[in-house]
A and B are shown apart, each in its own frame.
Chain A
Amino acid sequence: MNLDKIREILTTHGRLTTPVDSLQDDSDLYQAGLTSLATVGLMLALEDEFDVEFPDSVLSRKTFGSIEAIADTIEDLLE
């Protein structure tokens, strides 16, 4: 459920050089072209969609490293 939404947001806000459809859940998003500027848009969209706020403790490269990693963080924040 979350994974599909995350893929949708990633398609709109990720500005990836590799199409999101061709990525696995554990594919490296930085290798797929994710930049720090795009991460901002991605994070804001995720916060809006899931009504969460990313605390500083999770703000690291790893958090946005893959679809799976994003989903794990969102899940933790929703708990």
Chain B
Amino acid sequence: MDSSSQTQTNFESLIKQVHAIGEEIIAPQAKDVDEKARFPKEGMEAIKSLKLMSAYVPASHGGMGLDIKQVSKICQVLGLYCGSTAMIYAMHKIQVACIVHHCMTSQFFQSYVKELVAEQRLIASATTEIGVGGDLLSSFCAVEANDGEFQLTKKAPVISYAEDADDLMLTARKDPEAAKSDQVGVLINKSQYSVEPISDWDTLGFRGTCSSGFVVTATASVEQISPTPFSQVLSQTMHPYSHIVWASLWSGIASSAVSKARQFVKNAVRKNPNIPPISSIRLGEVDTVLSTMRNNIKANIDEYMQLLEDGDEDAFTNFGFTIRTNNLKINSSQMLVDIVGKAMLICGISSYRNNSELSLCRHLRDAYGAALMVNNDRIMMHNSSLVLMHKD
């Protein structure tokens, strides 16, 4: 067996293990996590036991060395079992990718990655800030450095799983005189910051992500500042990577809904084999939407992987690529709602019950969050400028 097929076999066996923890640990806790809007501790522990927190860390740094296509597959599988758990994993992976792609020239980040691999640490992030109107490329807060240390206070409207993370990646202006858009990322350890809640997280869906608002106050060393300007991290990694892993986990939620619909139609066929149930045509219909959703993700992954391979930094800010990445987010989030809605029509009232085996209530509630996390309308507004210029 050559090394690439060996790697493929290893990955397939890893995916089987992800399914196993999904069925045995993540799915059984999902209802409780959702009801109590609590952190999915058991699921995240299981994910750590498979060393998945460092899946995207290159093998040369002790990680699994998976590529984004494989990470996306893991997100999709997790999404089958619990949207919140999958979302937490995806958000963590975005931060890992930012570090791996942009921070490895720094001694501090190199040793941090070793700790990440050994301890399977969980990274949260605080990119938005109260008052910037959701613009990730603007910060009010600034790094105030003095004698090799810096202080920072940030009012963040949401920080997912802030209280359960081991580390926090924050964006801030690089110094108190810097322009709003002249930002850096800083990675701070739990022992170096305190969080004071300013809002709670009692939401319709994605309840287990515990995305409350906080004021973060930190004191840390200047070596914990990312060596790459944040605008570059955003265009080359955070923006494309986020939309790929989010869309992937949403496709997991969508697949789970379609599986329930399939189960319903199968039961109907078993009961009455001679007359095809009317819902069977709907099953075919919903599958076409799911198929488009998956193909969109695949096309975007292929393009992004090609850009990573080419290594042309300017190509990541090409308007065409930005538009297509934004389109992936807009399309996938809309398709998710569409797919879950169609699956509910197939399963009927049993999908509307909270306590039935075919319940799709959590799926639907989670689905409506997808368009709002980085609001689709804001993305569409941005795209509407870009498409005026881009002629493709």
Contacts and interface: CB of A to CB of B under 8 A. Distances in A.
Interface of A: 18, 28, 30-32, 36-37, 39-40, 43, 54-56, 59-62
Contacts of A28: 182
A75 B305 CA distance: 32
B351 to A, nearest CB: 41
Contacts of B381: 37
Contact of A32 (B179, B235, B318): B179
Interface in B170-196: 179, 181-182
Interface of B: 137, 179, 181-182, 231, 235, 314-315, 317-320, 381-382, 385-386, 388-392
B181 A36 contact: no
Contacts of A18: 179
A60 B385 contact: no
A31 B389 contact: no
A43 B389 contact: yes
B385 A40 contact: yes
B194 to A, nearest CB: 31
Contacts of B319: 56, 59-60
Contact of A31 (B182, B315, B388, B392): B182
Question: Nearest 10 CB-CB pairs, A to B?
Answer: A61-B317, A31-B179, A59-B319, A60-B317, A36-B385, A60-B318, A37-B385, A40-B385, A62-B314, A40-B388
Contacts of B388: 40
B182 A60 contact: no
A56 B392 contact: yes
A36 B320 contact: no
Nearest to A31: B179
Contacts of B235: 61
A59 B179 contact: no
Contacts of A54: 389
A65 B381 CA distance: 21
A60 B381 CA distance: 18
Contacts of A43: 389
B385 A56 contact: no
Contacts of A30: 137, 181, 231
A40 B314 contact: no
A36 B235 CA distance: 14
A37 B137 CA distance: 14
9 contacts: A36-B385, A43-B389, A56-B318, A56-B319, A59-B318, A59-B389, A60-B317, A61-B317, A62-B317
A60 B312 CA distance: 12
B140 to A, nearest CB: 14
Contacts of A60: 314-315, 317-319
Contacts of A36: 382, 385-386
Contacts of B318: 56, 59-60
Contacts of B182: 28, 31
Nearest to B313: A62
Nearest to B135: A35
Contacts of A59: 318-320, 389-390
B257 to A, nearest CB: 35
A56 B181 contact: no
B317 A40 contact: no
Contacts of A55: 391
Contacts of B179: 18, 31-32
A29 B392 CA distance: 26
B245 to A, nearest CB: 23
Contacts of A39: 385, 389
Contacts of B137: 30
A36 B382 CA distance: 7
